[in-house]
Amino acid sequence: MVDMFAAIDQNRLNWYSQNQKQFRMSQLSGMEDALNHGDDHVHLSNIGERIILPASYNGGPRDMHQCFQDSMALARHFKKIDLFLTITANPNWPEIT
């Protein structure tokens, strides 16, 4: 089961790396970032290919940031919070459905 999950996840990551142009993120290009960084001495060995993971990739940095923003919106809505817990649950559990 773990091997199948790893194979599926690797397949998704390969798709994301091969279809970067579809994400419309030219401003995040590694060359532009390095040249706009302000350093007079840009080392070309430090510039590589950047792979951007969209928020739809579960567990990626954008997904985690989006979940954090959602949790902070809940905290703002309910005002004073004494204890804030997060859990990972299966949405198909009988208790949730």
Average pLDDT score over residue span 49-65: 81
88 in Cβ contact with 95 (< 8 Å): no
Residue 92 lies in a domain: no
Percent of the chain residues topping a pLDDT of 90: 7
pLDDT digits 0-9 by tens, 14-33: 988 888 777 765 555 555 55
Residue 97 lies in a domain: no
How sure is the predictor about 6, in pLDDT bands with cuts at 50, 70 and 90?
A: very high
Q: How far is CA 42 from CA 9, 28, 31, 36, 74, in A?
A: 35, 17, 10, 10, 43
42 in Cβ contact with 36 (< 8 Å): no
| Domain of 23, in residue numbers | 2-77
Residue 27 lies in a domain: yes
Burial of 41 (0-12, 13-18, 19+ CB in 10 A): exposed
Residue 93 lies in a domain: no
Residue 23 lies in a domain: yes
Residue 35 lies in a domain: yes
Domains held by the chain: number: 1
Residue 86 lies in a domain: no
Residue 11 lies in a domain: yes
pLDDT of residue 3: 92
pLDDT digits 0-9 by tens, 67-87: 889 888 888 888 877 777 777
pLDDT of residue 31: 56
